[in-house]
């Protein structure tokens, strides 16, 4: 366990170097998940009075992305279920939120009551900020009242900043993975349309604009997209010519 006094930036700085060294412009999603889990665990160790830590993300409704144990995960997930808690407030107000004693907490009465019944009586949350967006929160939880203080918020903020970098990198990696297939699909559609337009120009002896208008009208009449219509026309043309070549070969034999 890494011990800190009031505030010790060493752990946060060292972890920042790890993240910067391995993340690159778009770290793979699996690697991001592993580093996010490591970061969350180290954040809990960096504050000895904490009993655990969790990262919640707000991309598609609040969800707990990683937690240091089942109890922490359950308490953290309750915020999404109940629609209240330090994660929500930290993200909404873009600041660190400290709740030293949940027995006395009035901001989130339902969540605080549930958390104390489960055995966690203190919490502190820092928002994950990426550019102008808040994408989640990193939280510490404690079993004992007043174990988490304002001093802990400085350490937590360091880890929250790195968590934001990791999540943003994972999202960039996902977008990069999806981009090639979208680009390839768009290029195939463009090529099919160009070939189909060329076929119509030759067969109907019309201009390119007239051929494109014909293809567009054909697509509207059939209820298909322009790309699908072009693909069907090209396939039909190829099949027709293969059939003619086959017949010609048989005649020569």
Average pLDDT over residues 171-187: 57
Q: Where in the chain is the domain with CATH 3.30.450.40?
A: 10-177
Cα(69)–Cα(57) distance, integer angstroms: 17
Quick one: which of 5, 40, 62, 6 has its CA closest to 162? 40
Q: Quick one: pLDDT at residue 23?
A: 41
Which pairs count as long-range contacts for 36-42, CB under 8 Å and 24+ apart, including other chains? 36/65, 36/66, 36/163, 36/166, 36/167, 36/170, 37/66, 39/15, 39/159, 39/162, 39/163, 39/166, 40/66, 40/67, 40/68, 40/138, 40/159, 40/163, 41/68, 42/2, 42/11, 42/15, 42/159
The CATH code that applies to domain 179-252 is 1.10.10.10
Write out pLDDT tens, residues 204-222: 888 988 888 888 888 888 8
* b/e 83-93 (16+ beta carbons within 10 angstroms → b): ebbbbbbbbee
Cα(195)–Cα(198) distance, integer angstroms: 5
Average pLDDT over residues 12-32: 49
Work out whether strand 97-99 and strand 52-57 pair parallel, antiparallel, or are unpaired: unpaired
Query: How far does CA 219 lie from the centroid of its chain?
Result: 36
Percent of the chain predicted with pLDDT > 90: 41
Please give the CATH architecture assigned to the domain spanning 10-177: 2-Layer Sandwich (3.30)
Write out pLDDT tens, residues 44-101: 999 999 999 999 998 778 999 999 999 999 999 999 999 999 999 999 999 999 999 9
Higher-pLDDT residue of 86 and 15 is 86
Q: Is-contact 57 133, C-beta < 8 A? A: no
Q: Where in the chain is the domain with CATH 1.10.10.10?
A: 179-252
């Amino acid at each position: 366990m890494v011990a800190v006094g009031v505030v010790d930036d060493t752990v946060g700085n060292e972890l920042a170097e790890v993240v910067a060294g391995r993340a690159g412009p778009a770290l793979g999603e699996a690697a991001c998940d592993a580093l996010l889990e490591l970061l969350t665990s180290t954040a809990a160790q960096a504050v000895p009075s904490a009993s655990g830590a969790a990262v919640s993300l707000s991309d598609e409704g609040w969800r707990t992305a990683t937690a240091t144990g089942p109890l922490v995960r359950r308490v953290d997930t309750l915020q999404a279920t109940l629609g209240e808690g330090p994660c929500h407030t930290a993200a909404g107000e873009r600041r660190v939120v400290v709740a030293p004693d949940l027995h006395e907490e009035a901001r989130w009465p339902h969540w605080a009551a549930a958390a104390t019944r489960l055995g966690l009586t203190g919490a502190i949350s820092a928002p994950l900020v990426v550019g102008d967006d808040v994408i989640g929160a990193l939280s510490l939880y404690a079993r004992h009242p007043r174990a988490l203080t304002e001093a802990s918020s400085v350490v937590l903020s360091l880890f929250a900043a790195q968590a934001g970098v990791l999540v943003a990198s994972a999202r960039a990696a996902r977008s990069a993975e999806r981009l090639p297939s979208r680009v390839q699909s768009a290029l195939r559609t463009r090529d099919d349309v160009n070939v189909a337009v060329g076929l119509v120009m030759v067969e109907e002896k019309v201009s390119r604009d007239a051929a494109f208008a014909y293809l567009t009208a054909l697509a509207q009449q059939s209820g298909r997209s322009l790309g699908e219509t072009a693909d069907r026309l090209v396939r039909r043309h190829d099949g027709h010519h293969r059939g003619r070549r086959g017949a010609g070969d048989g005649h020569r034999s």
